[in-house]
Amino acid sequence: MGKNKLKKFADMATFRCALQYPREVLLSEGFPYQGRWNGDFFGKEGPITLELGCGKGEYTVALAQANPSRNYVGVDIKGARMWSGAKEVEELGIGNAAFLRTEIENIDKFFGEGEVDEIWITFPDPQMQKTRKRLTSTRFLEMYGKFLKPGGVVNLKTDSPFLFEYTKRVAELNGFEIVAITDDLYGSGMADPVSSIKTYYESQWLSRGKKIKLISMRPCGFGSLREPISDDIEKDDYRAYPRHTPVNA
């Protein structure tokens, strides 16, 4: 492990905004803020928004700065990657943003019933071969339903035609309300100050001519969701562009 990565891990351990709970820590210690994020962590009431797979945390930081009356939590397992956003929050004294380092498979152990108002899923791996690992699969949506408020919104922002089509089928099959949908966010004129926030990875995809897709939906009927057939969805070239490739490559 490089010295730079070791330093980032050391920094993360000192950041108040960074909560590190890998599975083994969660199982041994539990999570003290479940159901009490606003009162015990943020120290103020406000709607809570999660960013799942937050990467470097650009979305979480930008949203928190633009909306001080709301509280934001970025979630990822990559601590060295998340360090960028956490460091900015610490240095700027942003009090309504936090970062949670953990596996998303355990996300329902960190939030209480009805505690979260909105979820953003920004450029996740589309998991074209593994339905259960897709962050918009019925497995994960039922998990989100344990803590999402009634009427809460799940937003997916992706460059993957496969994941976009799959998520649309999930929404349609289960009768979700589709709040917004486009397969070309910037070409459609639908981009607003929130959806147009660009992450590091989004900049990569845009530099290669990828169209950015957005679907915002209000799930319902948690616990009885039906999984759509997805074998006939054309696979895209996601793996042709590794995430570590420089933007101008």
As annotated, the active-site residues are 125
Residue 32 vs residues 19, 44, 217: alpha-carbon distances, Å: 11, 17, 30
| 111 phi/psi in degrees, rounded to 5 | -135, 145
SS3 per residue for the chain? CCHHHHHHHHHHHHCCCEEECCHHHHHHHCCCCCCCHHHHHHCCCCCEEEEECCCCCHHHHHHHHHCCCCEEEEEECCHHHHHHHHHHHHHHCCCCEEEEECCHHHHHHCCCCCCEEEEEEECCCCCCCCHHHCCCCHHHHHHHCCCEEEEEEEEEEECCHHHHHHHHHHHHHCCCEEEEEECCHHHHCCCCCCCCCCCHHHHHHHHCCCCCEEEEEECCCCCCCCCCCCCCCCCCCHHHCCCCCCCCC
